[in-house]
Amino acid sequence: MENNKDKNYIGVDVKGNRIWTGAKHAVDNKLNNVAFIRTRIDFIEHCFGENEVDEIWITFPDPQPQKTRARKRLTHPMFLERYKKFLKKDGIVHLKTDNTGLYEYTLETIKENKLPLIWHTNDLYKNCPADRKELTSIKTYYEKLFTGKGEDIKYILFKLT
């Protein structure tokens, strides 16, 4: 955000305290390229127009580990279909998580839906390529929490086509 002032960023969350924290950071740092939407993810396709979004970042979502809650995972095919409604044709999706189950589930979902997998790793901080250092330069609250506990951070980059 601070380093990419030519890009716009929109944070989406249902929890007001997370929106407030991000908004306060944006205001305090005079970031005019940052906005926030407070909504349930179920309504995400109504927040953007067709072909409006270049990239989607899914960072440390609730992994919904129970099999009965698979449809709540943000990389479930139902959500991927919603994202397609506003993601540009060659738009990309990033997933960062500490959860091995969500990481493996997402890789399987990508494979089953024949989506282009660009790159992935089960240990981002060990395997991050030199040309992708931006992936480790910005850490969310949860990323700091999990790396502080010694958890490996998993990362997936793929396209929705």
Query: How far, in Å, are 41, 44, 67, 95, 140 from residue 63 at the CA level?
Result: 14, 18, 11, 11, 16
- Given the residues 42, 62, 90, 123, the one annotated as active site: 62
The CA-atom distances, in angstroms, between 4 and each of 90, 113, 125, 135 are: 20, 32, 22, 14
Q: Known catalytic residue: 13?
A: no
CB–CB of 83/93 below 8 Å? yes
Rounded distance between C-alpha atoms, residue 13 and residue 37, angstroms: 7
Beta bridge partners of 57: 94
User: What are the residue numbers of the active site?
Assistant: 62
